[in-house]
Structure 1
Amino acid sequence: MIKTLLIVVPIFVAAHLRAQPATDTTRKSPIPTLTYEQYHAFLKGEAGEDMARVAEMNHYPLPEKVLKYKYELDLSPIQVKKLTEAANYLHRRRLQIGGSIIDTEHNLDSMFRYNKVQDGNLIFYTNRYGLYQGELKNAFLQACLSTHNLLSQQQMARFESLEKRK
């Protein structure tokens, strides 16, 4: 059942995706518990990159970072295809989970704002929020794992030297 919830972008978020212009730091977030920047990062599928830190620190890079150096690393067409698929899957998951996080924040805000907080629904939504955070971290770490497994030791060493130069 939880997997089904993650696949559909919540209606509240879908409406805001159509209505919101590009990120504007002078505007307020429609969700008071998120900054405007956080809100738009979730909507665009750009939030959470810090969740890959444990993998990246241990030589498991994100696929989109490796793809920036596809010529320098002499990636094969199969490697490029699989890295692109991993990057696209991660982006889709970031969009899905980000929408769910926004929806959950909206529900929590509404419960407190309208004094409708009950023990049961508070437990439900906070546990749900934790689930989404775990799903997002897993999506990042799975992408890093698949990226690491696609690269040779020489490509990995070259990638790390290229990253150090930037």
Structure 2
Amino acid sequence: MAQGPHHATSPYAQEAGREIKSLSETDVDELTRGGGWGFAKAAELNDYPGPSHVLQMKDRLGLRDDQLREVQKAFDLMQARALEEGRTFVEAERALDNAFRNRTITESMLQDLIAKAEVSRSRLRFIHLAAHLEVTRVLGADQIAAYGRHRGYSK
């Protein structure tokens, strides 16, 4: 018995129902709560500890009170900036998606919408990476090494 032509389903098929096609609900949640969204991996995986994890491990790392205050300050600043910029990025992606959805997109509009989204994405990445730089300046070499061991990056 002959079968009809085989149609492969796109790996994107399950994403067609997303509110913003380029971002999952998890992505939107992460970005709008100031989460890292993997932006700081270049720092994190090269021995530049992140403020959130340092705060979680403060006792294991033996943070002094002055270090704790500095790391908390770096975290709070990063969080506030990332929260605002994350919302900006999500809105930029929403505008791009809407222009396609509404079939109002033009080439110049496309260029402008992409530029806005990418500038915001760049700012987000800077915010998160800069926080890792700041925290690394606060910690001692032994604390940075301990951080790497506790995070499973080194032995």
Relative to the length of structure 1, the TM-score reads 0.74
Unpaired stretches in structure 2, ≥5 consecutive residues: 1-16
Aligned partner of 1:156 in structure 2 is 144
Q: C-alpha separation between the residues in 1 aligned to 2:29 and 2:54?
A: 25
Checking the alignment, whether the CA contact within 8 Å between 1:63 and 1:144 is kept in structure 2 is yes
Aligned partner of 1:42 in structure 2 is 31
Once the two structures are superposed, residues 30-85 of structure 1 have per-residue CA deviations (whole angstroms, 9 ceiling, x without a partner) of: 3344222112222222252x221111221101011111221222211111111011
Checking the alignment, whether the CA contact within 8 Å between 1:52 and 1:140 is kept in structure 2 is yes
The answer to whether structure 1 residue 119 and structure 2 residue 123 are counterparts is no
* Residue from 84, 89, 92 that aligns with 1:96: 84
1:93 deviates by 2.1
1:144 deviates by 0.6
Per mean C-alpha deviation after superposition, the further-off stretch among 91-100 and 123-132 is 91-100
Unpaired stretches in structure 1, ≥5 consecutive residues: 1-27
Checking the alignment, whether the CA contact within 8 Å between 1:61 and 1:147 is kept in structure 2 is yes
Q: C-alpha separation between the residues in 2 aligned to 1:30 and 1:44?
A: 18
The answer to whether structure 1 residue 58 and structure 2 residue 42 are counterparts is no
Amino acid at match of 2:55: L
Quote the RMSD (CA, aligned, Å): 1.8
The alpha-carbon distance between structure 1 residues 142 and 128, as it changes in their structure 2 partners (threshold 3 A), is: same
Aligned partner of 1:147 in structure 2 is 135
Number of matched residues? 137
Between Structure 1 and Structure 2, the one with more helix by share is 1
Checking the alignment, whether the CA contact within 8 Å between 1:86 and 1:143 is kept in structure 2 is yes
The alpha-carbon distance between structure 1 residues 158 and 110, as it changes in their structure 2 partners (threshold 3 A), is: closer
Q: C-alpha separation between the residues in 1 aligned to 2:141 and 2:39?
A: 24
Relative to the length of structure 2, the TM-score reads 0.79
Amino acid at match of 2:85: I
Q: Runs of 4 or more off by more than 6 Å in structure 1?
A: none
* Residue from 132, 140, 164 that aligns with 2:120: 132
- For the pair shown, which has the larger CA radius of gyration, 1 or 2? 2
Checking the alignment, whether the CA contact within 8 Å between 1:63 and 1:87 is kept in structure 2 is yes
Once the two structures are superposed, residues 66-124 of structure 1 have per-residue CA deviations (whole angstroms, 9 ceiling, x without a partner) of: 11221222211111111011112222222112111111122112211222112222111
1:160 deviates by 2.1
Q: Secondary structure at the match of 2:58?
A: coil
